[in-house]
Chains A and B, each alone.
Chain A
Amino acid sequence: MPFNKSSQYKFWFFDKEEKLLEIRKAINSSATDRILSYKSASPPKEGKKKKKDRVKQDDLLSVDDEYLILIKNIQKASLLCMRFNFPLHVEASAIMFFKRFFLGHSIMEYDISKIMLTCIYISCKAEDYYQDLSHFLAKVQEVTTAEVDPKEILKLELVVLQGLQFHMLVYHPYRSVFAFVHDPELTKSLRISSVNEIYEASKLIVRQSFLTDASFLFPPGLIALSSLHQCVVDDSSQQSILRYVQAKFGHQEQVTNSLNTIANMLQESKTKMGVDTSVIEKKFVKLRKIVSNQQKETEKENNKIAEKKEQERRDKKTEERSIKEEQDTKNLLG
């Protein structure tokens, strides 16, 4: 289907970077409100229980912290997929699902590494590269020595799918790169030794672009063009790319601006990757323990309430039934 009618354009495409920042801030603030306002139903015991439940404002993550941890996990996912030799579009879909999910949810409230594995599993299914879950987790265990129970991934699967609003089809720049590289009008004017080289190099740059927000802001053809633009080192080739764009698409200025923006975003992401996140990660691990305990307790309480309701409903029904029987016997016996 054409890109303008796809779910990616309708729901997961934004005009400005600021919009994305707004959304992330909103998610972060709602999550922090929920965590801070948690009051356990059971009375706090003396000493230990108090520490577990209470969260201070300093312990919470800011929007930037969240983003840094997100990028770290995207890198991990990318490395994992490369290690298992998954095809490029499987890896790309997994990363997109991951980013989209955490655009609508905060990382403080979900187990991020399990969600990452779930995203990879779902993307394998969506991109016709099905991996058996237990085999996949066994492979993961070999590489990362982290033992994950398949049941937990299956539980999270539906959560993630709901978070994605069941939009499984994602357009990646890889196909557009393929098309541009096979267009002789573009490649004959570039000073490159072989078309294969530039193809491989631009695929690497596309992979790096997944660490930025480019896929939310620019359509895949534009990202593909920008990756070619950045592959070619000398000026004359870059000019010839722009001339090609003018010849084929017109709007040269708009396209050039976008290409430059994407290049800047990539540079920024490189600097962000170099930032030391060990402090933030420790904070995050601590926070996650507390929050997951909170969530488990709320789940237990909700289960208890639900059970009580069920019991009441059953008692009511048996009462009604016994009343009915009495009436029936009365009617029969006159």
Chain B
Amino acid sequence: MLRFLLLFSRQGKLRLQKWFTPVTEREKKKVIREMTLMVLARPPCSCNFLHWRDLKIVYKRYASLYFCCGLEDQDNELLTLEVLHRYVELLDKYFGNVCELDIIFNFEKAYFILDEFLMGGEILETSKTAVGIAMEEAETLQETMEEYMSKPTY
């Protein structure tokens, strides 16, 4: 299973964090700091796999964002690269040509999409279209509520 998924910028600013095991706040900060240091120090054309403590770390850079996740021993690293790629595709489909700003200003949507794709550290849905459909329907449900309340959501 995945232990965590982090998104951070080239300057080391965190854009999204998802933890799939219970971790204390202090430990979270420590992990984030170490991941950021380790991944940002890697030269451009290097291998996407690292070893850290007892976990395998897989990271991929998309434009200005680094997607980094920690895997357990049994997990398939190459498949995890595909998982990261699929998540980016889902974000792209939802936001239309996604960029870092979209994820900054709509972070809660990024989380909702992630929650439709991964759960408990495992892949929830393998179909490309199903996640998008679920998001749309949830939005509809939400808008119905908004119209009813005639107030913006946030």
A and B interact: no
Q: Please report A residues at the B interface, Cβ cutoff 8 Å.
A: none
